[in-house]
Structures are given as C-alpha cells and as structure tokens.
A and B are shown apart, each in its own frame.
Chain A
Amino acid sequence: MGSHGIRDRVAIVGMGCTPFGEHWTRSADDLLIDAVGEAVTSAGITLDDIDAYWFGTQASGVSGLTLSRALHLPDKPVTRVENMCATGSEALRNACYAVASGAYDVAMAVGVEKLKDSGMSGLSGTAIPGAGDDSRGEITAPANFSLLAPAYAAKYGLAEEDMKDVITRIAWKNHVNGARNPRAQFRKEVPLERIRSAPIVAGMLGVFDCSGVSDGSAAAIVVRAEDAYKYTDKPIFVKALSFVAGPADGLLDPEYDFTTFPEVVASAREAYRQAGITDPRAELALAEVHDCFTPTELVLMEDLGFSERGQGWKDVTSGAFDLDGSLPVNPDGGLKAFGHPIGASGLRMMFEAWLQLRGEAPAERTLKSVAEGRSLALTHNLGGGPGECVSFVSVVGSQLTE
C-alpha cells in the first residue's frame, strides 16, 4: 500500500475556459462546447484525437451523456464525476491517472456548471431523499463557512471589527485581481468601505464576502509528459494530485475548533510530498485557492502552509498574498471575483496556472514571482464546509524536474 503520485508523468497541453458569469443566453451545452473548442484549438488537435473524457458537474446533468450528447462524440468513453466544489479538479485528476496508467494517450477533463438558471439566491443544492427530515441542521453555504469567523477571532484574540477588516481585505484583493481579468465575472475594483458596509448575508459575511454565483466551463487536455512537446512548446507538467474526503467528524467532535480544515492540511501535506516542496510560500509562483467565502481564504493560508498558525490574518493585512506580494494568491480573482460555477472551478484555477506559468496572463496581472524564475503553481478546491469537507490540492510546473 502506498500513495505514489505521478510527478512529471503527465502534462497539460491544451486548455480552455469560458468567461464566467451570468450567461442568460447560453446553456450548459453552449458553455462546455466553447471550453472544449478552445482547449483543442490551443493544443492544435481535434476531438478525434481525444481518447477518453472525464466530465465534472455537480448538478448540471448526470452521466457521460451530458458531454457526449452536447458534442455528439462518436462512441468515446465519458465518465461523469462529482465531488462537490472539487468536481472540476476531480475530473482532471482522473484524466491524469488514466493517461499515467497507459490506458489512454490523450484524455480530456471538462467541467461545467449552470447555476443561474435556477432563479435562486446562492446555491440551490440538490434534493437528496432522506435528507429532508431536518435532522442534520442544514444551513446555507455562506452561513456554513461564516462559522469560521467568530471561532478564528476568538482563538487568536481579534476583535469582531478587526476580523471584519481582515476578511474585507481578502475580498478587496480578489476584486482588484478580477478587475484585471477579462474572463472574470466581476471586473471592477471595489472600495474597502463598500465591501465592509455591504448588506450582511450570514454571520459576519456581507454580499462581497461571498463568491460569485455564475455559469461557466473549463477544459484541459492531458498527455504523457514525453509526448507533451509534440503539442506545445510550453506544456504544464503535473507534479502532484492529492485528494481527501474527510471523516466528516468536525460537526460531531468538540475537539474541532472551526479555525482549520484538517482535510486541507492532510491533502496539502500529501501534495507537497509528491511534488517535493518543503517551503510552499517561497517555492510557489502562485496559488489558486478555494475562496468560496472570505474567511475560507484566511484559514486556507494557514492550512496550506503559507502562514504560521494564527498569523494568516497579519499576512493578509500586510499584502503578502496580493498580486505583487511574496506569494500571489488567486491572481485571477478567485472564486470571489472570477465566479464559482461548481463543476468548472477546479479547471478554471488550473487555467490560471496555465496562463501564468506560460507567461500568457494579461500584462496588468503578470507575476513578478514568475519573472523571477519560480515555476510552480498550486490549485486547491474544497467541497462541503467546516467540519466535513473534501479537499483537493494540485501542484503543477512549467519545468521538468531534473
């Protein structure tokens, strides 16, 4: 038994990503067709060259038919996967393993979600027979993640006002980044005071502390590392893929204190082991993390090892994770400003790593860290909530390890 990783065995050679946002005139089919088309074009191939597909959506369709019907694929294997907000990353992970195993030469991961057709505020969720007896205390997603804020503030001695300043700073930073991203749902900087005084949704969280509810799709093409340069001269090599589904005992166990996601700590540790990373804050050029709500990003800075325990809020405040900080976090705007179509988000994060590590991000958000020679990027997804979640961490890089 053991987890072995597939460091440098597969590469991403093509990617596509639609703009995220309120696509009232476009269906899930329209969106995935666009993302898939952009991906194959960027790799210089056609759909005939794809041997197998992994298709991720949380609620915008079931089975592989959702993809094969939209694309009219001729008798190809299509596997639909779902792992809450890590669904897009899960599709990529499975496609990578399929190629690494030797089963296929070329695999594609596609993620899509169409949230805005529901007419609901926020995520409408899915009906699960048996969960309707109210005995699990179901709450909305913002309320769920807002549980972090008072717990963090209490543990580290932050006054409520100071805590609000910290999460406001996170939202502000991601809107600054999103304003520089033509594909982002929200493309305007938002003044700190406007974020801070926005209508409250849950707990300490205002409207601007929540990720955008949006539609979108993203796709990636995976090949064996040794074949990568046949498709592009700037492939992105997969260094680590790590995923855990936690025991979901944080809502049962008084030992859990709501200031961490143990699942993230575990999946990050495994990813760093696979990738050979010892100091992520110094070694990574950028990180795309799951900022579904602003307190989540704060806690993730500590769980992913970017900040010491209890120090994350100081690093946030000092701008360490800004576009020009020591480790840019969510340079594309994150879930906050880029939007969060569940099944597409993990692949959207990878799309930013793809752009940045290849030096193709727009000039106004190019990263000093890349220019200075850092070549690794991290993406992170989290599904569920504090106390019971799934967590995905990847590390990718533009260079093969010697």
Chain B
Amino acid sequence: MPGLIAYGAYVPYHRLARTDVAAALGGKGGKGTRAVAGYDEDTTSMAVEAARGALDRDGLRARVSQLFLATAAPAYLDKTNATAVHAALGLDPHVLAADMAGSVRSGLGALVTAARSPVPTLTVLSDLRTGLPGGTDEVAGGDGAAAFVFGGHRNGAPVIAELLAHDTVSDEILDRWRLPSTSVSRVWEERFAEEIYVSLAEKALTAALDHAAVDIGSIDHFVVAGLHARACAAVRRTAGVRPEAVTPDLAGVIGNAGTAQPGLLLADVLDRARPGELIALVVLGDGAGVLLLRTTDALPVHRAARPVAAQIAAGSAPMPYATYLSWRGLLDREPPRRPDPEPPYAPPAHRRTGWKYGFVASRCEKCATRHLPPDRVCTSCRSVDAMTDEPMAHVRGTVATFTVDRLAATPSPPMLVVVVDYDGGGRFRCQLTDATEADAVIGARVEMTFRRTVTASGVHNYFWKARPVRMGETEGTH
C-alpha cells in the first residue's frame, strides 16, 4: 500500500505580535502572533530545515528518488531552488530535483504528485508570506515549511499513513493573483469566491470519500487549508464532519503560511494522531484537492522529532515591528560603514558544494581528526589526501568562546559569533542565529541550521550557522 513514510515541519523562531502592527500603524491589528522567517531565511533554507526533519531516520535519504520544492516565493527564478535543497540534504546526484513554483496551489500539486508517484518522493512545501504594511496578508500571513516523503511500494520503509484516496478539481478563478514582478497579492471581493470554493471542496471530498468507500462521519481529523479564510471556515462548518474532528488552523499563533499551510497543518495532526485514524486534508485554491490518509501502527514510533506544537512553543518573544519591516526590505536602514557584502563566487562555491551546502567536513583516515572545513592535509598528523567525508550538519556542539560583532555588516546587527567544539571532535567558528546576546556564552549547546547568509549583487549566499538547542529531543541519527 502506498502512503506516507516520513514527514517534518519547520516553524521559524521569530514571532510578530499583531497588536504591535496596530500600535505602529493604527487600526485593530488583530490578535495573536504570526511566524516570521529570520532575516537569514528564505523559502529554500526553510525547505532544507523541514526536509532535514523528515529525513532524520536511518537510510531514508538513500531511498529518495525525487524531490519537489513547492513555493509561491521562490528565492530564484530561472535557476532551480530545489537543487540547493538537494545539495544541502546531500542527496544522490541522480535524484531528480525540481521546483513547483509560483502559485500557492503548487503545494497541493507537489503533495498529490508525490502521493501518486511510483518512486519514493520527497516533497517540500515552503512559503514566506508578505504584504504591504498593515495589510491583511502581512498580518494574517505566516512563514514556514513542511516536508513529506511518500513511498512505501517495494520500499521497505514502514508506511505511517496509508493513502486511501485523493481527488482534485481545478477551476480557473480570479480570486487572488500577483504579477511576477511584485511582492503583493491582490484579492477579489472575498464573497465572490467563497461559495465557489465550498462547492469545489464538496465535489473533491465526495469523490475521495466515495473512492475510499468511507463515510464523512468517520473522519477523525478534518484539515482545511487555503488563503481564502472565509471559504475555509465555511467548509469546516458545512462539510458534515463531526465537530470534534475539525482541526485548528494555527492562524492565531503562526499565521497562514500559504503554500506550506496544508503541510504544516497535516504535520501538526500527524504529531498527535493515533494509529488507525482517518485524516482528510482539504486544500482550497484555484480549485480544491483532497487527500484521505489512514494512520498506521507505525506512526507513533516514526513521528517527526520536532512536533509543530513544540516549535510553536519554542518561538521567540514578539519582535519589534520595525525589525520585521527592515528584514522584509520594507524599511531601509542606514548600513554600517563597511564594504558591501560579497556575493559568492560561482566556481569555489561549486567546487565546495559538499561543504558549503551539505556541511560535510573531512576526517583523517590515519588519526581520525575532524576538519571543518574539509582539508587535504591533516592538521594533526600532516597526512595528505587521506581524508573521508564527515557529515556534520546533524552534530551538536558546545560554545568554546564567542563574541558580539557590532561592526560587521549584517541585516540584523549585531552579529553573534561563536567558536563551536563539536561532539566527537572538530571545531568551527560561525554565526549564531535565532539568538540574543544572552545565548552567546561559553558552554552553551548549539546545533547547525542552514541559512541564507546574505544576498549580494543579486546572488543569495547559503551557508550554515549555529543556533541554540531549544528542543530537548534526542539527537537524530542522520
């Protein structure tokens, strides 16, 4: 039986309180908080973090045959973003990596494509929602990513949720749109699309339920996702599911992450669903789509290491609204009197893809000394070209010493810098992110995270940073 074999979610650390938007701009602003991608994050880096969570099981990486990255906020056009994710995950070169980029519905597209695929498929949904200051999209939006591995056919990996049925209906409807050159969506009067979406959802849901030969009353978790909040609410209310089966949309705490929202909501359900439960995922946008999944006995032992709820709980105290605006490029601040940041150079970045994207160091075959970055000559025994690859992205470490660099050019000064001594050997000096100065102390425990360090001359620079260990789960087995 085909189905889901792994999943992971990523909720960025930062939060924006909606009341702070109102305090700055007037108006009501709304309740609660939204998740905010860091100044050093984009949809590609968040996709990596989510996918790392999904692949954090023995042997899973080697089974993946294709990777799709779905986003409405691609870091690049023309250039594939999924290849950066592919490189950061250290997947085999023959694994197909391709983008499904542009529309929010590409998230549904990627999920259904993966679910239908005859080969094990990693699909990552990632989005960074933005809008004009004070607008609904800014206030109600959210940032995040989720990753799913579908497979299970002739594969050996236990299925944690069987795919019972799915259905999609497509409809050309002008309810939300954005020209490629702009960052702000436009929305038709909401009530126009509401009735259409309710009807489309009913069609898709009925088809899927019929195909699976299950009754709507047997749905244990009813997940409805989409940017049309009124339509989603109407579907939840009128579909006929048991009221207790309707799952929360998390909008109050992390906002609506657009392309990634169905993924985040599904991950949240998988975090707590019991074996044998029926999950219906309904996604609205330019039509409707439904996936019907039944959890298996394997779910409790193969849940994601970082539950969505834990990531929400580990979020930061609300950030200043002005900081949010400057991170999003909506508030130009005086730069430090330093040289402009350098863009990465293509040839050295390509030569060192394993290090730069995968954080793969080297280990001396003669004396076992770890080298970050990878070296040809051992710093300990001076052996030459006697090194093996040493993946370090999953290895935690301890801060040996640190500084706070107030002169360095960074979108979010000051730059926190730590010297990390890794468990099992090896040392590297790098930035500390998702942290305050209080987190930079000798002895602090840190883990590695993939980030967009800077964008210079129109080129994104990706590399790894350390972040404080905040969630107490045991270390993954990579």
Task: Determine, out of B77-85, B232-240, B275-283, B405-413, the stretch whose residues face the partner at the interface.
Answer: B405-413
Q: Would you give the 0/1 interface string for B441-478, flagging 1 where the beta carbon is closer than 8 Å to chain A?
A: 01000000000011000000101000000000000000
Residues of B close to A202: CB separation below 8 A:
403-407, 414
A112-140: which residues lie under 8 A (CB-CB) from chain B?
118-122, 124-125, 127, 129-137, 139-140
Residues of B close to A252: CB separation below 8 A:
371-372, 375, 379, 426-428
A254 interface residue per 8 A CB criterion: yes
A147 interface residue per 8 A CB criterion: yes
Nearest chain A CB to B375's CB is how many angstroms away?
A: 8
Specify which of A125, A136, A203, A257 lies most central, judged by the most chain B CB atoms within 10 Å of its CB.
A203
- Contact A133–B407 (Cβ < 8 Å): no
A168-210: which residues lie under 8 A (CB-CB) from chain B?
200-203
Residues of B close to A121: CB separation below 8 A:
336-338, 407
Rounded to whole angstroms, the CA-CA distance of A131 and B348 in the bound complex is 8
Residues of A close to B296: CB separation below 8 A:
none
Residues of A close to B342: CB separation below 8 A:
127, 131-132
- Once A132-B343, A136-B373, A252-B427 are accepted as A-B contacts, the answer to whether A147 and B415 lie under 8 Å apart by CB is no
A247 interface residue per 8 A CB criterion: yes
B137 interface residue per 8 A CB criterion: no
- Contact A151–B407 (Cβ < 8 Å): no
- Neighbour of B403 across the interface among A118, A130, A203, CB < 8 A: A203
Residues of A close to B400: CB separation below 8 A:
151, 254, 257-258
- Neighbour of B402 across the interface among A122, A142, A203, CB < 8 A: A203
What is the interface residue range for chain A against chain B? 35 or more
- Contact B408–A143 (Cβ < 8 Å): yes
Specify which of B355, B405, B454 lies most central, judged by the most chain A CB atoms within 10 Å of its CB.
B405
B323 interface residue per 8 A CB criterion: no
What is the interface residue range for chain B against chain A? 35 or more
Chain A residue nearest in CB terms to B422: A254
- Contact B442–A154 (Cβ < 8 Å): yes
A239-261: which residues lie under 8 A (CB-CB) from chain B?
247, 249, 251-254, 256-258
- Contact B417–A133 (Cβ < 8 Å): no
Q: Would you give the 0/1 interface string for B345-388, flagging 1 where the beta carbon is closer than 8 Å to chain A?
A: 10111001001100000000000010111010001100000000
Rounded to whole angstroms, the CA-CA distance of A48 and B311 in the bound complex is 75
- Contact A201–B407 (Cβ < 8 Å): yes
Rounded to whole angstroms, the CA-CA distance of A53 and B40 in the bound complex is 49
B394 interface residue per 8 A CB criterion: no
Residues of B close to A139: CB separation below 8 A:
403, 405, 408, 415, 417, 429
A5 interface residue per 8 A CB criterion: no
- Contact A135–B402 (Cβ < 8 Å): no
Residues of B close to A140: CB separation below 8 A:
338, 405, 407-408
- Neighbour of B379 across the interface among A133, A134, A247, CB < 8 A: A247
- Contact B355–A135 (Cβ < 8 Å): yes
Rounded to whole angstroms, the CA-CA distance of A133 and B414 in the bound complex is 21
Q: 13 other contacts beyond A120-B339, A124-B338, A256-B427, with CB at 8 A cut-off?
A: A120-B337, A135-B355, A139-B415, A142-B407, A249-B379, A252-B375, A252-B426, A252-B427, A254-B421, A254-B427, A258-B400, A258-B401, A387-B429
Which 7 A-B residue pairs are closest in the complex by CB-CB distance? A143-B405, A203-B403, A132-B342, A249-B379, A130-B348, A254-B421, A151-B401
Q: Which residues of B contact A (CB under 8 A)?
A: 336-339, 342-345, 347-349, 352, 355-356, 369, 371-373, 375, 379-380, 400-408, 414-415, 417, 419, 421, 425-431, 442, 453-454, 461, 463
Pull 19 A–B residue pairs with CB atoms less than 8 Å apart, ordered by A.
A120-B338, A121-B336, A122-B407, A125-B339, A130-B345, A130-B348, A132-B342, A133-B344, A133-B348, A133-B461, A135-B463, A146-B405, A147-B403, A150-B401, A150-B442, A151-B400, A200-B406, A253-B369, A254-B426
